[in-house]
A and B are shown apart, each in its own frame.
Chain A
Amino acid sequence: MDKDVPRAPHDLGGVSKFLCEPVDVEPHALTDFDKEVDALRGILGVKQVMSVDELRRGIEAIPEAEYHRLSYYRRWIRSITDNLLVKGVITEAELRAALERV
């Protein structure tokens, strides 16, 4: 039984839904995508553009179904993008234009 409390989706300690799920103990190599996202976050932190706390907030804002569907570093890039937009480092128009060129 889960505790009958207003738990946020990322707050996973003891959540019943996962108690019967096996832990995948196999090593999974990081892809280039993973490493680049990881590095980008680190650099943004060092340059004080976006903190790890802001990264977490952005991840926690992802709707529950998406949170579980997205891979770890896809959550990160979604949060990084969200934060860059919210903080005005990039604009949505710029982002959409850049996506057109990808």
Chain B
Amino acid sequence: MFPPGALVRVRNDWPETRGPVHIRTPHYLRGMPGRVVRLLGAYPNPEDLAFARPAATRALYHVAFDQPAVWQEGQGGDELLVELYEHWLEPVQ
């Protein structure tokens, strides 16, 4: 459970390398630090729905990222805002 303002990191995991998957965490955010803006709700995990498997409900967060930091280029102050499931987020100390 992450409160608004919590600092998080997107897990640097690559399930794509281990078999057929359906992942809604864009490649460009894996391993990147971000800030939770708010909880959007809780929904069945699309990673399982995609294969008609029973899907556990997972919390979905809106997470903000410094846009130039993601690409090593861009305009200071710009940000990315992305929906991410809780199991893809780790707390940052």
- Whether A63 sits at the interface, judged by CB under 8 Å, is no
The chain A residue with its CB closest to the CB of B48 is: A53
Cβ–Cβ contact B22 & A57, under 8 A: yes
Distance, CA A51 to CA B48, complexed state (A): 11
Partner of A51, one of B26, B30, B49: B49
Q: Which bracket fits the contact residues of B?
A: 10 to 19
Interface SS majority for chain A: loop
Cβ–Cβ contact A3 & B52, under 8 A: no
Cβ–Cβ contact B27 & A54, under 8 A: no
Cβ–Cβ contact B50 & A7, under 8 A: no
Distance, CA A8 to CA B71, complexed state (A): 18
Distance, CA A17 to CA B37, complexed state (A): 32
Interface of A toward B, CB cutoff 8 Å: 3, 5-8, 11, 13-14, 51, 53-54, 56-57, 60-61, 87
Q: Could you list 11 further interchain pairs (A-B, Cβ under 8 angstroms) beyond the known A54-B49, A57-B20?
A: A3-B28, A6-B17, A7-B27, A11-B26, A14-B28, A51-B50, A51-B52, A53-B49, A56-B22, A60-B22, A61-B20
